[in-house]
Amino acid sequence: MIEVWSGSRDGNERAGLAHERGAGKGGERARARVLVVDDDNSILDTVTSILESEGHQVMAASGGEEALSMVRAWHPTLVLLDMRMPIMDGWAVAKSLRESGSRVPIVVMTAAENARRWADEIGAAGHLDKPFGLDELIAIVERHAGPRQN
């Protein structure tokens, strides 16, 4: 079992990713273009590594402004968005994306108890409660990343 913990503001909030790595999965894989947005580099590194091992193309942004620039330049098929970031939080990122006309699906990632409500309020495609498991991460990416590509 691997757990990644974030340096949360109050020191008590658990905001990590827990998963067990198994043997690689064979067969056809989804080829999503996933943008992972989180101010915790350990979560960025872990999620990026997992999704790349599943055959996805992954870019990582550690802040809101960087994420907006990457969406404009890279056109991801899915954004995994942390809601609690300094300077520009997930709310502001989602609002800016929608105001700019972007329809990219957003999956909210947060340790907050109200993740589902936040996802509904910003029109997100789904949510991941931190810490989340490997299977849960892969399933939500495959569910919301669009059609498979060869």
Q: In this predicted structure, what is the pLDDT of residue 31?
A: 82
User: What is this structure's pTM?
Assistant: 0.79
More confident site: 109 or 7: 109
Q: What is the pLDDT of residues 94-147, one digit of tens each?
A: 999 999 999 999 999 988 887 788 889 889 999 999 999 999 999 999 999 854
Domains for the chain: give ranges and CATH numbers.
2-21+29-144 (3.40.50.2300)
DSSP 19: E
Q: What is the pLDDT of residues 104-116, one digit of tens each?
A: 999 999 888 877 8
Asked whether the beta carbons of 41 and 66 are under 8 A apart, the reply is no
Question: Over pLDDT 90: what percentage of the chain?
Answer: 67
